[in-house]
Structure 1
Amino acid sequence: MSKQAPSPFTNHHDAYSMGQEGKEVWLLNGMRQLTEWHRERCMEYDRFLLSSGADNNHIQRLDQLPYLPTSIFKKFDLLSVDPEQHPKLKTVQSSSTSSGVPSRIFQDEATSYRQKKSVQSIFDSFLGTERRPYIIFDAMETARGKNSMSARGAAIMSLMGYASRFYFVMDLCDGQLVLNEERLIEAVEAAKESGDFIAYGFTYILYQAHEMLQRQGHSFEGFGNQTFLIHSGGWKTLQNIAVDKGSFNDAVSSVWNISPEQVIDFYGLVEQTGVIYPDCPYGNKHVPYYADVIIRDPHTLQALPTGEVGLIQLMNLLPLASPNHSVITDDMGKIVGVDDCPCGRKGKAFQFAGRAPKAEVRGCGDVYAEEQGK
């Protein structure tokens, strides 16, 4: 058995300081090691690889690495650690808005540490390192959970390291989130005293709260360029009522009298917890050096060149407790550049293009499922 998993970090303190050419050699070696780590520790994953014919010894490029469809984590509990030896093992579940069945990803102590370090490195690049009041457009119950947590709860907690104080400004009443205006005013006063703040809300929750604040005529002032309102997930609900990213940013920023660029959308999956993709000021999402994004043709699953839209495959070196280090999603996107974004961040830059039409992405996991059903 592989005694030690590869380290996901180098002496590069900036998540975006390594150029793509140098990164690919280093990352490929680490991803091959991590694939072997999970193969030796997760019997089901070993079967996946055998069924698909993937041969770790002949992989010469990142786009040749095996991957699992994210749907497989809805069907199987895949573990690369012994739960009895990890009493603090946690489960993070996706929101399951499309299928009604959540993905279940496991985190041991080592994985959690790696994920927290990654999120901090990424957010430092976009938010800076200063602590500010943290306004959370959600209920406190969402972030509770000793051994299990939702995707929303995990996103809320990922920003706690930037909080001087935090304020949950919504309450859960009969299953519905309701804005607590008294607590919001308390948070606003603390933010004014600081001069800046950060806020987080699930995309449609943040929009609905600010739509209500607009209707009520609220307008807050006195905040600087280190104020950021961050959101993730839930675009499908807004697209149904014709709210695009531009109008969203305008609606939210106007309440606080700040630039629309200070409203930051980030893309991320429970199946890739710890690696998030915030928008830079030029509307691009950037890949840190210990991760990569491959775009694949929806029909052939062949890797596509820059500029072509296809299914998003994500990989990173963080996960040790579940073999979710390389997954293909049912999200669509395209690579828009490499090492050349005007924001200065190196590596691949990509853009999210929406969800794929309803269809299960087939992969080696489906082959295993069919074998089990015989």
Structure 2
Amino acid sequence: MIAPYHLEREQKSAQLLDKLNDLTNWHIENCSDYKAMLEKSGALQQASSVEEVPYLPVQLFKLLDLKSISQEEVVKVLTSSGTTGQQVSKIYLDKETSVSQTKTLVEVMKPLLGSKRLPMIILDTKSVLKDRKSFSARGAGILGFSNFGRKHFYALNDDMSLDVKGLQAYLKEFAGQKILLFGFTFMIWQYVYKETIARGLEIDFCDSILIHGGGWKKLKDEAVDALTFNRLLKQQLGIREVHNYYGMVEQVGSIFVECSMGHLHTPSYADVIIRNPITFKPVPYGEQGLIQVLSELPKSYPGHSLLTEDLGTIHGEDDCPCGWKGKYFSVAGRIPKAELRGCSDTFQGGTK
């Protein structure tokens, strides 16, 4: 059994439910906006199953400053990635939540990366990390995953061009060693993969493992799915092992990573539920719907149960051929904007 993918349904549900109920009570006591929303939607009673734990639409973090700690306790503010002019989510972390998220991320990645720090290439630019107190989703991701590496090298210059000389020197220095690569799906595609083709560069990442996340929207516009992405990266860059992950700044630390079979898995401290976009009732496995994410980590803000804007499907539970326990699922992408507005209005109407 491989922690944190070792608990079967019955044991996991009981443990997680207790922790989620405790968090709901904590946030009711410490976040007046959260309490008011639950009061108006009649959701103040203890949940008797994980499916009954009250959830907030993820969009609320773009509209309200939701936190269950005092301003003095805030050590870090994370912001979601939004296009210019868009409102962004603000997530307030205290020391306890920040530390627990870092520790849990280590546990989640250990089955793939082991406990030894690997030489690490970050397929991004260092300028993302300029402000150490306020992080974008990209910055938070880079900072979180940096814990798994040593001798960090940033492959992109500040102008987003590829640092070819630096990259080749780094690969030469660590030739014969396993290298950890980390980046965001679109950035890797646009600024590493496409750049090497455009410039006729030959770069071989040899014995490396790539961890990437951040959504497929722009790649889907180019008709690139996960299998195509993996195949082309292997062909052009020699990257043999690729693992995508699903996560969001609103529940940072709770990430769902791909197993060897290409399925996203829920670890023991987090879960997903798929809900019908019209009725919001849980749907059977195999049916597509809105993804709800649950986690025992968020204590500094009421983000332990969130309804996302993403569509996904649970394919099974405890029986993935990879050997990991828990639900395994896939993400189809963001819900179309027209439907999203309806969903958002429904929720805000029910919680005001």
Give the TM-score normalised by the residue count of structure 2.
Answer: 0.94
Q: How far does residue 55 in structure 1 lie from its aligned partner after superposition?
A: 2.9
Preserved CA contact (<8 Å) 2:251 2:303? yes
Distance in 1 separating the partners of 2:143 and 2:36: 35
2:138 corresponds to 1:152: yes
**1:200 Cα deviation after fit:** 1.3
Determine the structure 1 residue equivalent to 2:314: 335
Residue 245, structure 1, aligned to residue 234, structure 2:
no
Aligned partners of 2:2 and 2:111 also within 8 Å:
no
How far has the Cα of 1:98 moved from its partner?
9.5
Q: CA deviation at 1:82?
A: 0.4
Q: What's the counterpart of residue 67 of structure 1?
A: 55
Alpha-carbon spacing, 1:125–1:276, altered in 2? closer, same or farther (3 Å): same
Q: Deviation of residue 203 (structure 1)?
A: 0.9
Which of 28, 31, 39 in structure 1 is aligned with 2:20?
A: 31
Contact 2:243/2:262 (<8 A) preserved = no
Contact 2:162–2:195, Cα closer than 8 Å, also in 1: no
Residue 287, structure 1, aligned to residue 266, structure 2: yes
Q: Find out whether 1:321 has 2:296 as its counterpart.
A: no
Alignment partner, residue 165 of structure 2: 182
In structure 1, the residue matched to 2:127 is 141
Contact 2:120–2:153 under 8 Å retained in 1: yes
Decide whether the 8 Å contact of 1:67 with 1:363 is kept in 2: no
Deviations 1:133-162 (A, max 9, x none): 111111111123221101111111122122
Distance 1:245 1:343, change over 3 A: same
1:228 aligned to which of 209, 215, 222: 209
Shift of 1:223: 3.0
Give the letter aligned to residue 198 of structure 1: L
Segments of 5+ residues of structure 2 without an aligned counterpart are: none
Q: Choose the corresponding residue for 1:83, options 54, 71, 94.
A: 71
Which whole-Å CA distance do the structure 1 matches of 2:113 and 2:259 have between them?
A: 11
Identify if the C-alpha distance between structure 1 residues 129 and 218 changes in structure 2 by more than 3 Å, giving closer, same or farther. farther
Residues 126, 48 of structure 1: CA spacing in aligned structure 2 closer, same or farther, 3 A cutoff? Answer: same
Question: Using the alignment, how far apart are the partners of 1:364 and 1:48 within structure 2?
Answer: 13
- Hey, what's the Cα distance between the residues in 1 that align with 2:319 and 2:83? 35
Are 1:47 and 2:33 an aligned pair?
no
Alignment of 1:255-274 (within 5 A): 255-259=236-240, 262-274=241-253
Compute the displacement of 1:97 (Å): 4.0
Pair 1:337–1:363, CA change in 2 (3 A)? farther
Gap change, CA 1:207 and 1:29, over 3 Å in 2: same
1:277–1:99 distance in 2 versus 1, CA, 3 Å: farther
User: What CA distance in whole angstroms lies between the structure 2 residues aligned with 1:38 and 1:363?
Assistant: 23
Inter-partner Cα distance in structure 1 for 2:292 and 2:209 = 28
Q: 2:327 aligns with which of 348, 361, 366?
A: 348
* Aligned residue type for 2:185: T
What is the aligned residue count?
348
Matched letter for residue 56 of structure 2: L
How many Å apart are 1:365 and its aligned residue? 6.0
| Cα distance in 1 between the residues matched to 2:346 and 2:227 | 39
Give 3-state SS (helix, strand or coil) of 2:267's partner: coil
Larger deviation: 123-132 or 37-46? 123-132
Alpha-carbon distance in 1 for matches of 2:26, 2:54: 14
Q: Which secondary structure does the structure 2 equivalent of 1:169 belong to?
A: strand
**SS of structure 1 residue aligned to 2:283:** coil
Write the letter of the residue equivalent to 2:171.
Answer: V
Letter in 1 for 2:193: H
In structure 1, C-alpha distance between the alignment counterparts of 2:276 and 2:250, rounded to whole Å? 21
Q: Answer whether contact 1:91 1:149 (CA < 8 A) is retained.
A: yes
Q: Amino acid of the residue matched to residue 166 of structure 2?
A: R
TM-score (ref. length: structure 1) = 0.88
- RMSD of equivalent CA atoms: 2.0
Give 5+ residue unaligned stretches, structure 1.
1-11
Counterparts of 1:91 and 1:150, CA distance in 2:
9
Which region of structure 1 is more displaced relative to structure 2, 278-287 or 312-321? Answer: 278-287
Matched residues in 2 for 1:187 and 1:149: separation? 27
Q: 1:21 to 1:97 in 2, by over 3 A?
A: farther
